Amino acid sequence: MSVPVLLLQVAVLLLALLGVVVVVQRLQSRTAKRVCIVVLGDFGRSPRMQYHAMSLAALGLEVDVLAYSGSRPHDEIRSNPRIHLVALREAPRIAPGLPKPFYLVYGVAKAAFLAAQLVLRLMAMRPYRWCLIQNPPTIPTFALAWAICRLRNAKLVIDWHNYGYTILGLAHGAESRVVRLAKWFEFTFGRWGDAHFCVTEAMRRDLRLWGIDARTLYDRPPPMFQETSVEDSHQLFCKLDRENPGLFTLPFANQQPVRQTRSKTAAESTNASPDTPTRTLVTVANPSGQIELVAQRPALLVSSTSWTEDEDFSMLLQALEAYEEKAKVEENALPNIICLITGKGPMKAFYEAQIAAKQWLCVRIRTLWLEAADYPRLLGACNLGVCLHKSSSGLDLPMKVVDMFGCGLPVCAVGFQCLHELVEHRKNGLVFRTSAELCEQLQSLLYGFPSQDFKLREMRKHLQRQRIEEGRWAENWTAIAAPVFI
């Protein structure tokens, strides 16, 4: 027998075996109680997809999560026996400063590496009945996931968080060929999904224009986002002060030094270590060891940012600079501010240098990177949130505001097209367009803090009623999303 004939027979045999595997997988997928979630990003920094995984597991389904490793997912994910994490390998990075053609070749090679990895992983997984993917990113996920779902007789479910082509347009311009091609790809392959979720009513209406029928699944906060008790706040402030010396203990220039008078009773009552301060700028342990709020305390402002160009952090800096000047004049009516900024991103170092150059008396800014469990604790301990998110499409909503609302935290948010679906101006927050407007809102809400901040208190009451009416993530997901997977 000649070598070519032998090779042909081997090829036919391999194709036959592959066909048998595909047929078996298709048959098994019909009854499989398993979902594959694909996240082409850091799963630990994809809260909505984590909530999907927890809800699917609560429905009694086995969940395989195919994603890049990175940040630590929530503890409920890691401890859930029904959720299985499968790590994708990142493509090797290219050295900076090379000629442009090298980056073009690298981009093609990176896409091919990702595509090959996706195909192999998705084909090798145990039979699943549904494949849930997020958008963005669109390329190459849509086409590959659709093709493999057809082979494996699985349903493709797309969760539309935003439009990938609009994000690409921020860098290349909305009318560039690359962006137009990405838009065509996104909506052409997007129509091939078997079921769709989206994050706003505005996006649902827009998707319908493209022939895509989606269910609006609003983000809702899970139970870990709630108000933080005074005792827990004290422990958190002490922990953050150890990690960022002086953050909560170094007095402002217009304050008296913070005196620490630790007693054994206080140490026992607060379950704290002996070196835990009895007093921060915000909380204090009384002689009986109970934690109380300090009467003349600073207001705690919090903002979470991705430190990218589509979130103009300079607006907050300019607003705080103007507030500083006002507070120095009206020091009895306007409180000092501790502004805490969380998140990671490319422009963080740039803005940290600007922050370090400020010599303010009434405003203190610190950037933090928190453990996953400490983020909701911090939101629940603060007095006011600020959101700088601007949607590239005008059709998605900032999840950070959802988290803040879950903690009963009113928000000042920069306005865009569909923000009204989340932030009701003068009810649960305020909407601003300029740094001057933000400064005015900070003064209005914090005037008389902490004893006579009546506008802020009314917004907190509204958020409590809103949370009861709208419910949490689990209730909303069960009503809207669960029918797709039953």
Q: What percent of the chain has pLDDT over 90?
A: 71
Whether the pLDDT of residue 31 is over 70: the answer is no
Whether the pLDDT of residue 79 is over 50: the answer is yes
- pLDDT confidence band for 90 (50 / 70 / 90): confident
DSSP code per residue over 170-227: HHH-TTSHHHHHHHHHHHHHHTT-SEEEES-HHHHHHHHHTT---EE------TT-SP
The pLDDT value given to residue 45: 87
Whether the pLDDT of residue 7 is over 60: the answer is no
The pLDDT value given to residue 270: 47
The DSSP secondary-structure symbol of 64 reads E
- pLDDT confidence band for 224 (50 / 70 / 90): very high
Cβ atoms of 422 and 472 within 8 Å: the answer is: no
The pLDDT value given to residue 12: 52
Whether the pLDDT of residue 63 is over 80: the answer is yes
Domain boundaries, the chain: 33-220+476-485, 300-470
Considering only residues 480 and 24, tell me which one the structure prediction assigns the higher pLDDT.
Answer: 480
- pLDDT confidence band for 358 (50 / 70 / 90): very high
The CATH fold of domain 300-470? Rossmann fold (3.40.50)
Considering only residues 333 and 97, tell me which one the structure prediction assigns the higher pLDDT.
Answer: 333
Whether the pLDDT of residue 247 is over 90: the answer is yes
Q: Do domains 33-220+476-485 and 300-470 have the same CATH topology?
A: yes
The pLDDT value given to residue 30: 56
The pLDDT value given to residue 241: 95
- pLDDT confidence band for 3 (50 / 70 / 90): low
- Mean pLDDT score, 451-475: 95
Residue 324 region, left (φ>0) first, then alpha (ψ -120 to 50), else beta? alpha
- pLDDT confidence band for 361 (50 / 70 / 90): very high
Tokens coding 149: 């779902």
The pLDDT value given to residue 62: 98
pLDDT in tens, 110-166: 888 989 999 999 999 999 999 999 999 988 899 999 999 999 999 999 999 999 999
Look up the CATH architecture of domain 33-220+476-485.
Answer: 3-Layer(aba) Sandwich (3.40)
Cβ atoms of 125 and 28 within 8 Å: the answer is: no
